[in-house]
Protein backbone atom coordinates (compact mmCIF):
# COMPACT_ATOMS: atom_id res chain seq x y z
CA UNK A 1 0.00 0.00 0.00
CA UNK A 2 2.93 2.34 0.46
CA UNK A 3 3.57 2.44 -3.30
CA UNK A 4 0.25 4.28 -3.72
CA UNK A 5 1.25 7.21 -1.51
CA UNK A 6 3.08 9.18 -4.24
CA UNK A 7 0.15 8.63 -6.58
CA UNK A 8 -2.34 9.82 -3.95
CA UNK A 9 -0.22 12.92 -3.28
CA UNK A 10 -0.04 13.63 -7.00
CA UNK A 11 -3.80 13.22 -7.38
CA UNK A 12 -4.46 15.53 -4.41
CA UNK A 13 -2.13 18.18 -5.89
CA UNK A 14 -3.84 17.85 -9.26
CA UNK A 15 -7.27 18.13 -7.66
CA UNK A 16 -6.33 21.28 -5.76
CA UNK A 17 -4.87 22.88 -8.89
CA UNK A 18 -7.98 22.02 -10.92
CA UNK A 19 -10.19 23.44 -8.18
CA UNK A 20 -8.20 26.68 -8.30
CA UNK A 21 -8.55 26.83 -12.10
CA UNK A 22 -12.28 26.15 -11.80
CA UNK A 23 -12.68 29.03 -9.33
CA UNK A 24 -10.78 31.40 -11.63
CA UNK A 25 -12.81 30.34 -14.66
CA UNK A 26 -16.07 30.96 -12.77
CA UNK A 27 -14.88 34.46 -11.85
CA UNK A 28 -14.03 35.16 -15.50
CA UNK A 29 -17.41 33.80 -16.60
CA UNK A 30 -19.32 36.10 -14.22
CA UNK A 31 -17.31 39.15 -15.26
CA UNK A 32 -17.94 38.43 -18.95
CA UNK A 33 -21.65 37.75 -18.25
CA UNK A 34 -22.05 41.09 -16.47
CA UNK A 35 -20.46 43.00 -19.34
CA UNK A 36 -22.54 41.07 -21.89
CA UNK A 37 -25.73 42.00 -20.03
CA UNK A 38 -24.65 45.64 -19.87
CA UNK A 39 -23.95 45.61 -23.61
CA UNK A 40 -27.28 43.92 -24.36
CA UNK A 41 -29.09 46.50 -22.24
CA UNK A 42 -27.31 49.32 -24.03
CA UNK A 43 -28.30 47.88 -27.41
CA UNK A 44 -31.94 47.62 -26.30
CA UNK A 45 -31.84 51.19 -24.99
CA UNK A 46 -30.41 52.48 -28.26
CA UNK A 47 -32.91 50.45 -30.28
CA UNK A 48 -36.05 51.57 -28.48
CA UNK A 49 -35.30 54.99 -26.98
CA UNK A 50 -33.42 56.76 -29.75
Q: CA 20 to CA 46: how far, in whole Å?
A: 39
Does the pLDDT at position 23 exceed 70?
yes
Query: Is pLDDT above 90 for 4?
Result: no
Phi, psi of 20 (to 5 degrees): -65, -45
- Over pLDDT 90: what percentage of the chain? 86
Render the chain in DSSP notation, one character per residue: -GGGHHHHHHHHHHHHHHHHHHHHHHHHHHHHHHHHHHHHHHHHHHHHH-
> pLDDT-derived band of residue 10, with 50, 70 and 90 as boundaries?
very high
Phi, psi of 48 (to 5 degrees): -100, -20
**What tens digit of pLDDT does each residue of 29-47 get?**
999 999 999 999 999 999 9
Q: How many CB atoms lie within 10 A of CB 17?
A: 10
Where residue 20 falls among pLDDT bands split at 50, 70, 90?
very high
Amino acid sequence: MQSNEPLVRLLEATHSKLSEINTNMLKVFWIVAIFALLYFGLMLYILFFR
